[in-house]
Amino acid sequence: MDGSVENKVRKILDELRRDGISALKRFSIEFDGFDGDFRVGKDEIINAEASLTQDEKKTVEKIMDRIREYHKRQMIEDSMFISSGSIYGILVRPIERIGIYVPGGKPLPSTLMMVGVPARLAGVEEIVVVSPPKEGKIDPRILFIAKILEIEEIYKLGGAHAIGAMAFGIGMKKVDKIFGPGNQYVNEAKRQVFGIVGIDSLAGPSEVCIVADDSAKREYVMFDLLSQVEHGEGSKAWLLTTSKDLIEYCERNIEIPKGWGEIEYELFDDIERCMRRANELAPEHLELLVKNPLDLLKMVKNAGAVYAGEYTPTSAGDYFLGVNHVLPTGGTARFSSVLGLWDFVKRISFACVGRDEFMKNRYLGIAMADVEKMRNHGKALEVRE
């Protein structure tokens, strides 16, 4: 992270803490070019829906149905077991209030679908949406999706000050956890407020790694590479292949416009070496464009999402398959996972111990309390009869 970005964000967050709503209004004028009511009114939501065509609305509704159908299989419930007359387990409870940041410069309504649908399935009751306004308005598709999700708190706020407003409760009730991607200022603000609130991740530029053999259709590979680097500067695509002809075709036919990301080509003797390299990269998206893609699944160790076969391009996963496209980037797939219902719940340890088991085993706790010199820990066990 550029030190100047870190310092600028810290200054914004400090001013928000100190000056509250007046600082939020200043930053809204300075960064969003907006001087008005932050909260979106009901009339705006109604007008937004009316501005969309029936086809646009049906597209959104069908995609949301597919996301819902996929994610409902991730439902997590309490788990309990009985041992020696005692009950142990895990209680699963939804996070009460979350905030979703939806980028607005190049509007990404799919972000709200991918976060909002599993949040509702997980049982989150209060959802706040913030998105930077463009000419004083939020993209109508974002407002329509919010309506379907029964989200009434929507704010015209972008950038680091939007993250601060959600984290500190400025102009709104504070949230418990923040979700959604953004630029480097949004990312840095999320990093700095972590601990005050939870965050989903620190998402970096988009990535795809394609593992391909001689059977891969060259045009498919070419456009799958281009579809990721068009995300912009910093985005990355790798082609790991056993086919020299495929690399030469892509190099000959691909011209990357200024402001896009970059593509790297690596030639290997066999697919196993391609897979080892893919695991080293731990990419956000891993495409398997080989003759028998399912045979490679056992070799996958690190990836945000795996898309197998020629009819599973990354762009399909981004938009309509129903799988979640909020994924770990920058090699963090080594220890992080795709967004799912588990990100919207808390797991709470539970125990209800019977007297017989307690009396039989308390000597273990007394012994450890003695080792750690925690006298009253031991006493709390000894006094029970």
Cα dihedral across residues 147, 153, 157, 163: positive or negative: negative
- Catalytic (active-site) positions: 284-285
Residues for the chain: how many in total?
385
> Look-up: residue for tokens 């819902």?
68
C-alpha–C-alpha distance, residues 286 and 308, integer Å? 8
C-alpha–C-alpha distance, residues 40 and 54, integer Å? 23
C-alpha–C-alpha distance, residues 365 and 358, integer Å? 10
What's CA 123's distance to the chain center, in Å? 18
C-alpha–C-alpha distance, residues 310 and 237, integer Å? 17
Residue 22: partners with Cβ closer than 8 Å, 6 or more residues away: none
Query: Which residues of the chain form beta strands (DSSP E)?
Result: 79-83, 86-94, 97-101, 126-131, 153-156, 177-179, 198-199, 207-212, 236-241, 262-267, 285-289, 305-308, 345-352
Dig out the tokens for 79 from the structure: 């788990």
Query: Which residues of 2-133 form beta strands (DSSP E)?
Result: 79-83, 86-94, 97-101, 126-131
Determine the residue type at 333: A
